[in-house]
Structure 1
Amino acid sequence: MTVASKLDNRREIELAEGVHIHLRPAGLFPRLMARFIDGAIWLLIFIVLSVVLSLSGWLIGDEASQGFLMLLAFVMVWFYDPFFEASKASATPGKMAMKLKVVRRSGAPVGFASGFLRCLLFWIDFLPALGTVGMVSILASRNSQRLGDMVADTLVVYRSPPRVPEVESINAPAVRPGVLLQREEQLAFIEFADRLDRLSPARQNEITAPLAALEAARKSPTTTSFALGVARWLSHQEK
């Protein structure tokens, strides 16, 4: 293993389409900063609601106010992270501020079940010695995973925009795919166009052959030209 490969923390993921995407796991410091921001948000919410409830305690009663705060604490502890990480942003406000997101190890979005599992195990990472277990795990793991990430099969990665080839470099007219493409599928088309010159014609046909089942692909001369057309169309959308 070269020095460069040790310093490069990108992880190459091969998709079913035969192309590769790169994920860059976040290290300890940005994750600590994201947690600090989320903690500040928690504290601000509790301070504001405590003041509001104390002022309205005479109306709803002190016991009701205390019960509401306990319920809020329960929801924040167990559902704050899973709610935001299972959303379209795939990140809590703190992670969004640090340009991070949580994904499956395959690069796919995190569902609520996986988000809840990693949240549940956060307390195992955190409670012994104020997070020492989690920090040591992140530093020792090749993918910067704490124990919760390892069990839930998730990664915290940098939110890097996909590198889109220049429209002019794709030698094919733009073609609408005719179906709704997930983000991973969009990346697959873009990556295919980006490395076309490094693929033999036989390999190009092998990779794009499954696209023949799409109705829109039947209107193109070949599945390869269809894939390039979709990549060019996606390039227009990214501009």
Structure 2
Amino acid sequence: MVVEKLDTLQTVELAEGIEIRLRIAGPLVRAGAYLVDLVIRSAILTVISLAMAISGIAIGGKVAMGLFLLAWFLLDWFYPVIFEAGKRGATPGKRVAGLRVVQATGSPITLGQAVVRNFLRFIDGMPFFTYGIGLGSCLASRRFQRLGDLAAGTVVVYTKTAPEIIIAAPPPMQSVPISVGLTADETRALVLFRERAGLWSEGRRAEIGDHVSALSGASGTAGVNRLMSMAHWVQEKREGGT
């Protein structure tokens, strides 16, 4: 039985066919970041309340209370929005935990996305500010997205990703001539497959190779080896012609 970790490294394929890897943060580390932000906001509100208590003598108690409530509203609703829509994409709590908020494609989030994900935090916090709905959504989502994240199209990731161990591509043992005609782009793609194969895991190489099994006549590792040999033949032919 395989148990999935709460923090995972996931592959995201963009529309251009480019793959990026995001280390998605689980609910535990995100809860820790939230607590840090809660302490910071509480400290700010404490300072504001003291300032309003002192200034209330001059401006009146009702005015001071109104200003305090306005400050509480702005801090509670816009504190995370301002920081997450900024250059770092993270509140101070997330920065301490080494996290940031990004789009599902890995790009920085927009102001609109920051507003949506944080304004829906009220629903995620239900029932009775226990964050039961938000936690349930995180655990049910492959990318640990609460409802605000799902609506905004955002994910919370680690700012630093541990380097992935790449299995070296197997060197071709022999050259295999290509028996069918390929266009210049197809030939270039075949050569690039051999040159970049070392950047992919063995499973990813086999997955790509299976898409052109009609050319190699095989699938899996055997298909990869045959494509490598074909690419080797193309390169040898080029070098022989120069």
Q: Deviations over 1:39-85 (max 9, x none)?
A: 11111001111111211211222122111111111111221111110
1:159 aligns with: 159
- RMSD, matched Cα: 2.6
Give 1:23 deviation, angstroms. Answer: 0.6
Q: TM-score, normalised by structure 1?
A: 0.64
**Paired residue type of 2:91:** T
Q: Does 1:94 align with 2:80?
A: no
Q: Deviations over 1:69-118 (max 9, x none)?
A: 11111111221111110100101111111101001111111111011001
2:103 aligns with: 104
Give 1:15 deviation, angstroms. Answer: 3.8
Q: Which has the larger radius of gyration?
A: 2
1:188 aligns with: none
Aligned residues: 169
**Paired residue type of 1:10:** L
Q: Does 1:149 align with 2:149?
A: yes
CA gap of 1:197–1:142, structure 2 versus 1, over 3 A, is closer
Tell which deviates more after alignment, 13-22 or 67-76: 13-22
**Paired residue type of 2:154:** T
Q: Deviations over 1:122-175 (max 9, x none)?
A: 100103142111111112211111111111111011111686xxxxxxxxxxxx
Give 1:33 deviation, angstroms. Answer: 0.6
The within-5 A match list for 1:22-171 is 22-129=21-128, 130-160=130-160
**Paired residue type of 1:109:** P
Q: Secondary structure at the match of 1:56?
A: helix
Q: TM-score, normalised by structure 2?
A: 0.63
2:235 aligns with: none
In 2, the alpha carbon distance for the partners of 1:52 and 1:120 equals 28
CA gap of 1:108–1:158, structure 2 versus 1, over 3 A, is same
Give 1:19 deviation, angstroms. Answer: 3.1
Q: Secondary structure at the match of 2:120?
A: helix
Gaps of 5+ in 2: 164-191, 200-242
CA gap of 1:30–1:162, structure 2 versus 1, over 3 A, is closer
The higher relative CO (CA closer than 8 Å, separation ≥ 6) is in 1
CA contact (8 A) 2:104 2:155 kept: yes
**Paired residue type of 1:87:** G
Q: Percent identity?
A: 39
Q: Secondary structure at the match of 2:8?
A: coil
In 2, the alpha carbon distance for the partners of 1:47 and 1:103 equals 31
Q: Does 1:14 align with 2:13?
A: yes
Q: Secondary structure at the match of 1:71?
A: helix
**Paired residue type of 1:123:** F
Gaps of 5+ in 1: 164-191, 200-239
CA gap of 1:115–1:151, structure 2 versus 1, over 3 A, is same
**Paired residue type of 1:30:** V
2:206 aligns with: none
